[in-house]
Amino acid sequence: MIICKNCGAEYDDEQDRCPYCGGDNFGKSVQVHEDMMNELKREKRQWEKMPEKVAGKGMSWTAKLGIAAVIMVAVICIIVFIVSSISHKVSYRVEQKNLEKLESLYQSGDYEGICEYLKTVEYTYQSYFDKYTEIAGMQRYLNYLNDEDDFYLQWIVENDKADALSNISYIVSILNECQEAADAYYKYEEEDAVAYYKEYCYDYMKEHYEISEDEIKSCIDKAGGLNYDNKDQITEALQELAIDCLKNKME
């Protein structure tokens, strides 16, 4: 309790003014002022410490972000691994299915079917497709053969255009593929396919140009054997022989 210096009345010292005369409680005012100043000083000290706290919090968030990033990378790696494993298994099954289908076509002698089926298969450059891509290569040359009617052949003979007998170049290319397979000792076990294409080529040359198997082999021997480097020489020799045979036939 305090006594008002203005009216002498007694009142609670926590009151700002005298309830009787309204005089100021100077002691209270001084205390309020001191409290206010102390509060300002306290807030000032807090603001001075704020950069350290902010820095501390910043480092904490950086650490948290770093940990989150590591976890995210780990999760992504796990997902990639799982997807890759699944993809590998799926690819393996697809490849096995393709190989089974291709071998089935080979066993049935459907070489045209192999050529067509490979068009639907991706990544045929894999070594386990070599057997079938080799056969498809021979089949494609066979498919390139054009129909040479009598008028076309007569034009070739009259104009002495032996090099226009392009089918002979395809036949030689097929025989060259067969020879390469034989030189490799049929490492893909494609003897049946090679035998088929060789017989087809000999029959074709006999039927269309009256050139026998022995004559073909003679041209090959004169060139020093059938290989990639000698293909053109053998082709030209057979084209000249073919045009001579056609001339004799037309006389």
- Per-residue pLDDT, 55: 46
Q: Which of 3-7, 30-34, 68-72, 112-116 has the highest mean pLDDT?
A: 112-116
Look over the chain and give the mean of its residue pLDDT values, rounded to a whole number. 82
Distance between CA 112 and CA 91 in Å, rounded?
A: 25
Task: Classify residue 201: in a domain, yes or no.
Answer: yes
pLDDT > 70? residue 21: no
3-class DSSP state of 70: helix
**Which phi and psi (to 5°) does residue 2 adopt?**
-130, 165
pTM for the predicted model, two decimal places? 0.64
Locate all alpha helices (DSSP H) within 108-230, ordered by sequence.
111-118, 130-143, 150-158, 166-183, 191-209, 213-222
Task: Classify residue 60: in a domain, yes or no.
Answer: no
Task: Classify residue 4: in a domain, yes or no.
Answer: no
Task: Classify residue 189: in a domain, yes or no.
Answer: yes
Domain count, the chain: 1
Which residue matches tokens 């088929």?
196
Over residues 1-17, the pLDDT tens digits come to: 666 666 666 757 676 66
Task: Classify residue 207: in a domain, yes or no.
Answer: yes
Number of residues in the chain: 251
Q: How large is the average pLDDT for residues 28-32? A: 61
Task: Classify residue 119: in a domain, yes or no.
Answer: no
Task: Classify residue 1: in a domain, yes or no.
Answer: no
Residue 212 belongs to domain spanning? 146-250
Over residues 51-69, the pLDDT tens digits come to: 555 444 545 566 667 777 7
Task: Classify residue 31: in a domain, yes or no.
Answer: no
